[in-house]
Amino acid sequence: MYASHFAAISIAGIEAEEGAPAPDRLISGNPVHRTWNVEEAEGGIYAGMWESTPGKWRVSYDEWEFCHILSGVSILTEDGGESRTLRAGDAFVIRPGFKGTWEVVETTRKEYVIRT
């Protein structure tokens, strides 16, 4: 039996997990998060898509994450650092230890790869 080592990042047929920022992290709005975890591998590696409606909340990363913005507008601000406006086509890495805020200005969808 053939087993492919290729996995497309497609959310077709995958039910989204819904969530929201923890109440103690919420700064403004009523954001709703939807996550489609497409791939999970040994070593704490995850890949998929994430989407959020507008709002602002505090973030604190213990994991490493690669992100590619597919649609929408968000502002990521690092504590003691600069604000970065993120739009479709932007790709970036958030390293462990990042603390700051994530503000979704227009519903944002991103592809991600996370290593815990």
pLDDT one-digit tens code per residue, 66-113: 999 999 999 999 999 999 999 999 999 999 999 999 999 999 999 999
Domain boundaries, the chain: 26-115
Rounded mean pLDDT, 47-66: 98
Q: Which of 54, 62, 52, 58 is nearest to 23 (CA)?
A: 58
Q: Are 68 and 113 in contact (CB under 8 A)?
A: no
> What average pLDDT is seen over the chain?
96
CATH no. of 26-115:
2.60.120.10
Q: Which of 76, 79, 81 is nearest to 91 (CA)?
A: 76
* Residue 18 confidence (pLDDT): 98
